[in-house]
Amino acid sequence: MSGVGKGIAAASIGKILQSKGFKVTAVKIDPYLNVDAGTMNPVEHGEVFVTVDGDETDQDIGNYERFLNMDIYRDNYMTSGRVYQSVINRERNLEYGGKCVEAVPHIPMEVISRIDRAAEKANAEIVIIEIGGTVGEFQNVLYLEAARMLKFKNPGDVAFVMVSYLPVPSKIGEMKTKPTQMAVRAVNEVGIQPDFLLCRSTHSLDAPRREKLAMFCNVRPENVISAPDVDSIYDIPINFEKEDLGNKILKILQIDPRQQDLVEWRAFVDKINAATEIVKIGIVGKYFESGDFILSDAYISVIESLKFAAWENNRKPEIEWINSDVYEKDPAKISELSNYDCLVVPGGFGSRGIEGKIAAIRFARENKIPYLGLCYGMQLATIEFARHACGLSDAHTTEINPHTLNPVIHIIPEQAEKMANKQYGNTMRLGAYPCILKEGSLAREIYQQERISERHRHRYEFNLAYKQKLEEHGLVFSGTSPDGELIEIIELPKDQHPFFVGVQFHPELKSRPLSPHPLFVGLIKAGLK
C-alpha cells in the first residue's frame, strides 16, 4: 500500500546487502501512466527527485540514493507510461517482426529487460526492485506478472518481500492480521508466494501474531519480520538486522555474506543519538494542504539534507515549516524569524506566497541570519537584493510578472520555445551541469574545489544584463557555468554577512547521510556561530 514505507524498506534492504559486501542497485516501478514524475503535483505525489542524468523521478529514488550513497540513473525508474511508450514505439518500428503485440507477455518482457539494463549499467550483483501501489489493484498486475516470470526463470535468484500494514484499531487495541492474510492471497492469485513479510504497524509484532501470519500466509515464522513505527527512518536497517533479515535474504538467494554489516551506518546513527543540543532551522515556503491533512513530502530532500548537516555539526535539528503567506497578511510578524539559527527558502514555482518569501529573505539579509536559497530561493534572493539594495523597486522574475521593467530573472531562451509549444514534460534544464567557483568566495571555501557539478530543475535564470549593477552594489556572483553565461551561485561578501548564499541548482539532491552536502553543513555551522 502506498505510504506504508516500501521505499524505505527497499532502501534499507539495499543498504544491508550493500554493507555485506555486494554491489547493489535499486529500481522503482510506478504503475501510473505518467511518463515521469515531472508533470505531477508534488503536494499529492511528493517531491520530484532529479537524477544526475536529468530524469524527473519519484522521491523513492532519492531514498535509494541517500541510503545506498550512490547515484541512481534514469534506467532505474520505470512507469507504465514509459514502459508502454517503448513497447508501442518498438511496434511502430516493426521490431516485433509482424507479431501481435500484447500486454502479456510484451509488457512484462519490457519490464524485465529494463531491470536487466539497470543491473548492467550499475554493474550490480543484487537489484532491489520496488513495485509501487497496492497488491490487488489493476494497474500493477503486469509488474507482478514480470516478477513471477523472473522467479520462474531464475528460481534461486529471486526473493519476494511483501510490505504489509497491520492496523491496531484504537477501539479494539489489538493488531489485526486479516488484511495481510488477504493481501498475501491476492499475490498468491497472480502466482507469487512471498518469502518474507515485513509487518509495518504502530506496534511490534508479538509471538502469537507471528505464528498466525506464518501459518496462514505460508511464510516461515522467522521470515515474518516486525517493522514497527520508528522515530528515525535511519534506524530501520539496524532494526531489520536485529532480525537478521540480510542473511535470511542471502540464504534464499543462495549466497554467503562477504563482510560484517552496517559498520559506518551504525556510527552515523550513534552520531544522531548523541546530538542533544538544538539547532533551529526555518524553512520559509508555501503551505501544503490536501483536505484536512498537511503533506510534507514535497520537500523531503531539503529536510533530510538539513538533518544530515545538523548531525554533522553534532546538533539535533529542530526544523520548522514557516508559511510565507503569513508575512504578506501581517508584515510585523517577520521579526519572529530572529528565533531561528538559519533560514532556507527552497525551490518552487508560481506566485503564491512569494512576496512573503522575499520579505523573509530581506530580513535574513539585513539581520545577518544565515540564509540558503535553493533554486527559486536564489532567484527570489536576487530579486530582493535588486529591489532593496539597488533601488530597482519593481525587479521581478518574468515567471510572475512578464511585464516588469526590471526582469532580473528571465526565461532561458530554449525554455520559452518549449513553453510556447506546450512541451512541458521533461523539458526544463534538468540534471547535472558543471559550475566554476570564484577564487576567494565563500562558495569556494565551502566546497574546497574550483569545479563542481550540481543538479538542476528550472526554466528561469539570472538575467546577465543586471550583473554589473548588482555587483556594484555588493552582490558576488561566485559560481557560473564554465562559459560564464549562466549564473549558478550568488552570495554576499563574508565581511558583510556570515552566510548569505543562493544557488540556482538543488544541492539537496546530492546530500546523503554518509556524505552530507557542504553547503548545508556550512549553513548550519554559520547558524551556530
Site residues (CB under 6 A) for ligand GLN? 347-349, 375-376, 379, 399, 457-460
Q: Which of 342, 375, 390, 435 is catalytic?
A: 375
Q: Which of 456, 458, 506, 517 is catalytic?
A: 506
Burial label for 182, CB within 10 Å (0-12, 13-18, 19+), is: middle
Least distance from C-beta 283 to ligand GLN, angstroms? Answer: 13
**Would you say 459 or 467 has its CB closer to ligand GLN?**
459
Q: Which of 247, 238, 262 is nearest to 514 (CA)?
A: 262
DSSP letter at 255 equals -
- DSSP-assigned states of every residue in 58-122: -HHHHHHHHHHTS---GGGEEEHHHHHHHHHHHHHTTTTTTPPP-HHHHHHHHHHHHHHHHHHHH
Q: Which of 246, 26, 28 is nearest to 127 (CA)?
A: 26
**Would you say 314 or 426 has its CB closer to ligand GLN?**
426
Number of H helices, E strands in the chain: 19, 22
Least distance from C-beta 471 to ligand GLN, angstroms? Answer: 22
**Would you say 240 or 460 has its CB closer to ligand GLN?**
460
Query: What kind and span of H or E run contains 387?
Result: helix 376-388
Amino acid at 133: G
**Would you say 340 or 460 has its CB closer to ligand GLN?**
460
Q: Which of 347, 367, 345, 366 is nearest to 356 (CA)?
A: 345
Least distance from C-beta 28 to ligand GLN, angstroms? Answer: 21
Least distance from C-beta 76 to ligand GLN, angstroms? Answer: 22
Is 506 catalytic? The answer is: yes
The CB-nearest residue to ligand GLN is 347
Half-sphere exposure of 464 (CA within 13 A, CB side): 10
**Would you say 73 or 460 has its CB closer to ligand GLN?**
460
DSSP letter at 438 equals P
Is 456 catalytic? The answer is: no
Residue recorded with cell 507469487: 192
Is 508 catalytic? The answer is: yes
**Would you say 27 or 375 has its CB closer to ligand GLN?**
375
Least distance from C-beta 414 to ligand GLN, angstroms? Answer: 13
Q: Which of 384, 456, 508, 517 is catalytic?
A: 508
Residues 6+ positions from 257 with CB-CB distance below 8 Å:
20, 21, 246, 247, 250
Least distance from C-beta 350 to ligand GLN, angstroms? Answer: 7
Least distance from C-beta 295 to ligand GLN, angstroms? Answer: 18
Residues 6+ positions from 414 with CB-CB distance below 8 Å:
none
Amino acid at 68: L
**Would you say 205 or 380 has its CB closer to ligand GLN?**
380
State whether the Cα torsion 393-399-401-403 is positive or negative.
positive
Tell me the catalytic residues: 375, 506, 508
